[in-house]
Structure 1
Amino acid sequence: MIAVSDLKAGMTFEQDGKLIRVMDASHHKPGKGNTVMRMKLKDVRTGATTDTTMRPDDKVKKAFIESKPVQYLYSQDDTANFMDLETYEQYEIPTSVIEYELKYLLENMEVKIQFYGSEVIGVTLPTTVVLKVKETQPSIKGATVSGSGKPAIMETGLVVNVPDFIEADELLEINTQEGTYLKRAAK
């Protein structure tokens, strides 16, 4: 058991037979009364999110999540396929469960999948990925990094705001936690 006050973003716990991942957690002290924890929670199996408050001294059962390195193979219809790098066993994950993560995945990319017992529950992305710009507005001569930027569509379909000097077919390093442009990637 773990105290609610110790929960942080990314942690997973069990509650009423559901597997819940903490998306955001913060202490809140109202004008009157006791401190509460404001949390944004996501049901790992259904993808439903809820905003809730809990008392900091409440206890929840921490879920034991195991990770395994895999290679992303491809997506077909509503299923994403991964292969274990050691045993060559293949795993299928519904695309609805990893909709956000798919925007950062390229075929043959190495990632980690998460297991709860024998159940596959998600994908852990690297902190940054290198993606190619598929489409963007033409660059503006004399543009600087501090400009307001423009949208760019990456090869995976992800839309990222990039500086005005970025052109199509450039490789960019993208932060997977925030979905933001970091820098041009080395070729």
Structure 2
Amino acid sequence: MKINGNEIRPGNVIEHNNSLWVAVKTQAVKPGKGPAYNQVELKNLINGSKLNERFRSSETVEKVRLEQKDFQFLYNQEDMLVFMDTESYEQIELAKDFVGERSAFLQDGMKVIVEMHEGRAIGIELPDQVTLTIVEADPVVKGQTAASSYKPALLENGVRVMVPPFISSGEKIVVDTNEIAYIRRAE
């Protein structure tokens, strides 16, 4: 679908210079002299490089629609993660560094959304929150003020998060997978 350069918004995926880019930031600029343009910060979906580009309203770009498919995480195989399409039962392998540090939050059977373009995985969405058990938590230091009394804790997946002082080892907590932060005690 073609759109004008001044219609690009953050989050839009466009085809530019024979590659796929996501708009990170956009700013409409109206200089005193010359035509207005849209200053767009782009991030390459394939290799992660960044680019700043000016698009005039007279220019058109191809807006790409990504196909979102439901997948289920099956298992970890060396440096690859194996997922299964919940409709066709086909399996795909994605590199651990494609998912990034959030791959530590993947649990057997977890449902994820994989964004595809022409049969190729471009992005992955994990659930926003997961429940994990704390395997190690530092003891509370007496006399700390309530405002800054968070302490480090080690989760079962090897990730460290800061938790309130009343949380102890063996408890289950809910963790935000985007911010990698404690949210609350699990029910």
Q: Same-fold call, TM > 0.5? A: yes
> Does residue 8 of the first structure (1) align with residue 10 of the second (2)?
yes
Deviations 1:16-70 (A, max 9, x none): 1212234x3153879988675463x432222x23263534746432222111111
Whose radius of gyration is greater, 1 or 2?
2
- Mapped to 2, the partners of 1:67 and 1:29 lie a distance apart of 33
- Mapped to 1, the partners of 2:13 and 2:158 lie a distance apart of 29
Aligned 1:37-76 pairs, distance under 5 A: 37=39, 39=41, 41-46=42-47, 48-50=48-50, 52=52, 54-55=54-55, 57=57, 59-76=60-77
Considering only aligned residues, what root-mean-square deviation do their CA atoms show, in Å? 3.0
Give yes or no for contact 1:131–1:154 (8 Å, CA) kept in 2: yes
> What secondary structure is seen at the aligned counterpart in 1 of 2:167?
coil
Deviations 1:117-151 (A, max 9, x none): 11122211122222222333124568786434123
Shift of 1:8: 1.6
Aligned 1:85-164 pairs, distance under 5 A: 85-140=86-141, 146-164=147-165
- Give 5+ residue unaligned stretches, structure 1: none
> Which residue does 2:175 correspond to in 1?
174
- Mapped to 2, the partners of 1:124 and 1:20 lie a distance apart of 17
- Mapped to 1, the partners of 2:138 and 2:32 lie a distance apart of 53
Give yes or no for contact 1:174–1:182 (8 Å, CA) kept in 2: yes
- Mapped to 1, the partners of 2:145 and 2:186 lie a distance apart of 17
User: What TM-score, normalized by structure 1, do the two folds share?
Assistant: 0.78
Letter in 2 for 1:105: L
Deviates more, 1:90-99 or 1:51-60: 51-60
Alpha-carbon spacing, 1:149–1:79, altered in 2? closer, same or farther (3 Å): same
Alpha-carbon spacing, 1:145–1:59, altered in 2? closer, same or farther (3 Å): farther
Give yes or no for contact 2:83–2:93 (8 Å, CA) kept in 1: yes
User: What TM-score, normalized by structure 2, do the two folds share?
Assistant: 0.78
Deviates more, 1:163-172 or 1:91-100: 163-172
- Mapped to 2, the partners of 1:92 and 1:130 lie a distance apart of 25
- Mapped to 1, the partners of 2:153 and 2:81 lie a distance apart of 25
Give the share of equivalent positions with the same residue, in percent.
Answer: 29
